[in-house]
Structure 1
Amino acid sequence: MARHVIGDIHGCAKALRSMIQELSPTADDELIFLGDYIDRGPDSRDVVEQLITLQSTCKVVPLRGNHEWMLQSVVSRGMDDAMWLRSGGKATVTSYGGSIGRIPKDHLAFFESLLPCYETENEIFVHAMYDPSCEVVSQSDELTYWTHLPPSLPAPHQSGKRVYVGHTPQPTGEVLRHTHLVCMDTYCFGGGYLSAMELESETVLQVDRHGHIRRVPIERIAMLMKGCVQWFQGRKP
Structure 2
Amino acid sequence: MIGDIHGCAKALRSMIQELAPTKEDELIFLGDYVDRGPDSRDVVEQLIDLQSVCKVIPLRGNHEWMLQSVVSRGMDDSMWLRSGGRATVTSYGGSVRKIPEEHMAFFESLLACYQTESEIFVHAMYDPSCEVATQDDELTYWTHLPPSLPAPHHSGKRVFVGHTPQPDGEVLRQSHLVCMDTYCFGGGYLSAMDLETETVLQVDRHGHVRRVPVERFAMLLKGCVHWFRSRDS
TM-score bin (small chain): over 0.9
Match of 2:93 among 94, 97, 107: 97
Stretches (4+) displaced over 4 A: none
Q: Provide the residue aligned with 1:111 in structure 2.
A: 107
Paired amino acid for 1:141: D
Q: Provide the residue aligned with 1:44 in structure 2.
A: 40
Match of 1:216 among 212, 217, 225: 212
Q: Provide the residue aligned with 1:172 in structure 2.
A: 168
Number of residue pairs the alignment of both structures matches = 233
Deviates more, 1:216-225 or 1:166-175: 216-225
Which whole-Å CA distance do the structure 2 matches of 1:139 and 1:217 have between them?
A: 36
Match of 1:135 among 131, 136, 144: 131
After superposition, the C-alpha distances for 1:23-75 in whole angstroms (9 at most, x for unaligned) are 00000100000000000000000000000000000000000000000000000
Q: How far does residue 16 in structure 1 lie from its aligned partner after superposition?
A: 0.2
Which whole-Å CA distance do the structure 2 matches of 1:185 and 1:235 have between them?
A: 41
Q: Provide the residue aligned with 1:202 in structure 2.
A: 198
Paired amino acid for 1:71: L
Match of 2:141 among 133, 138, 145: 145
After superposition, the C-alpha distances for 1:139-184 in whole angstroms (9 at most, x for unaligned) are 0000000000000000000000000000000001000000000000
Aligned counterparts, 1:71-90, within 5 A: 71-90=67-86
| SS, match of residue 191 in structure 2 | strand
Match of 2:117 among 118, 121, 124: 121
Which whole-Å CA distance do the structure 1 matches of 2:231 and 2:156 have between them?
A: 38
Q: How far does residue 224 in structure 1 lie from its aligned partner after superposition?
A: 1.7
Match of 1:20 among 16, 23, 46: 16
Over 3 Å counting, the alpha-carbon distance change for 1:218 and 1:39 in structure 2 is closer
**TM-score in terms of structure 1 length:** 0.94
Q: Provide the residue aligned with 1:33 in structure 2.
A: 29
**TM-score in terms of structure 2 length:** 0.96
Over 3 Å counting, the alpha-carbon distance change for 1:113 and 1:217 in structure 2 is closer
Which whole-Å CA distance do the structure 2 matches of 1:192 and 1:51 have between them?
A: 21
| SS, match of residue 151 in structure 1 | coil
Which whole-Å CA distance do the structure 2 matches of 1:222 and 1:211 have between them?
A: 23
Which whole-Å CA distance do the structure 1 matches of 2:82 and 2:117 have between them?
A: 39
Over 3 Å counting, the alpha-carbon distance change for 1:221 and 1:112 in structure 2 is closer
Which whole-Å CA distance do the structure 2 matches of 1:55 and 1:223 have between them?
A: 38
Q: How far does residue 235 in structure 1 lie from its aligned partner after superposition?
A: 3.3
Which whole-Å CA distance do the structure 2 matches of 1:225 and 1:200 have between them?
A: 21
Which whole-Å CA distance do the structure 2 matches of 1:219 and 1:117 have between them?
A: 35
Q: Provide the residue aligned with 2:224 in structure 1.
A: 228
After superposition, the C-alpha distances for 1:59-106 in whole angstroms (9 at most, x for unaligned) are 000000000000000001110000000000000000000000000000
Consecutive unaligned residues in structure 1, runs of 5 or more: none
| SS, match of residue 235 in structure 1 | helix
Consecutive unaligned residues in structure 2, runs of 5 or more: none
